């Protein structure tokens, strides 16, 4: 598809960062999933046990399996199932990284209104990623 000459520079910058981040996230997720289901990395919750617990509400699932909440999963990253969360986290972080990059570009161009909206969005992302919500 041809490049539109009217597209602002910061939008092209966002697109470039989004493209790269998304590709990395997909590859990481695919690799982690293969390692998980092939048994290369043993999971925290055994695959054979999953059908007994995946029908439970999340609170009951966490209680039954002892699975962690919040960022507690990082301590289990060597397990096949939790390594998958790393790929998912990458995909769920790409937009925040792009906003941070675009904020710098907007500030450099003294686009205060757009920069303030991008900064507020980053604060929202930061609050939810930190588990404050």
Partner 1 sequence: MRAATLLLALACSASAHAADGAVAPWWIWPLALFALSFALGAVSVLAGVGGGVLFVPIVGGFFPFHLDFVRGAGLLLALASSLAASPVLLRNGLANLRLALPLALVASIAAIAGALLGLALPVAVVETALGVVVLGIAGVMWLARRSESPAATSDRLGAALRLHGVFHDPALARDVEWRVQRTPLGIATFACIGLLAGMFGLGAGWANVPTLNLLLGLPLKLSVGTSGFLLSVVDTAAAWVYLLRGAVLPILVAPSVLGVMLGARLGVRFLGRAPAAVVRRLVIALLLVAGARALLKGLGAWN
| Residues lying near partner 1 in the complex (CB under 8 A) | 1-8, 10-12, 14-16, 18-19, 22, 25-26, 29-30, 32-33, 36-37, 47-48, 50-52, 54-58, 61-62, 67-71, 81-82, 84-85, 87-89, 91-96, 99, 102, 113-114, 117-118, 120-121, 124-125, 128-129, 131, 133
CA distance 21 to 93: 9
How far is the C-alpha of 66 from the C-alpha of 52, rounded, in Å?
14
CB 93 within 8 A of CB 18: no
CA 3 to CA 116: how far, in whole Å?
28
Tell me the closest approach of the beta carbon of residue 4 to partner 1, in angstroms: 4
Q: Taking the complex as a whole, how short is the minimal distance between the CB of residue 9 and partner 1, in angstroms? A: 11
Residue number with CB closer to partner 1 (51 or 110) = 51
Q: 62 vs 100, which CB is nearer to partner 1?
A: 62
Nearest distance in Å: CB 77, partner 1: 12
Angle (deg, nearest 10), helices 112-129 and 80-108: 160
84 burial class (0-12, 13-18, 19+ CB within 10 angstroms)? Answer: buried
Q: How far is the CB of 71 from partner 1 (least distance, A)?
A: 7
């Amino acid at each position: 598809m041809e490049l539109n000459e009217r597209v602002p520079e910061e939008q092209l910058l966002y697109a470039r960062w989004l493209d790269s981040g998304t590709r990395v996230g997909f590859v990481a997720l695919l690799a982690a999933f293969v390692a998980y289901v092939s048994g290369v990395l043993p999971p925290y919750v055994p695959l054979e046990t999953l059908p007994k617990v995946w029908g439970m509400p999340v609170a009951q699932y966490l209680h039954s399996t002892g699975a962690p909440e919040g960022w507690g999963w990082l301590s289990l990253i060597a397990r096949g199932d939790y390594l998958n969360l790393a790929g998912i986290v990458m995909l769920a972080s790409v937009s925040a990284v792009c906003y941070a990059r675009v904020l710098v570009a907007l500030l450099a161009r003294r686009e205060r209104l757009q920069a303030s909206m991008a900064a507020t969005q980053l604060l929202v992302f930061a609050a939810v990623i930190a588990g404050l919500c």
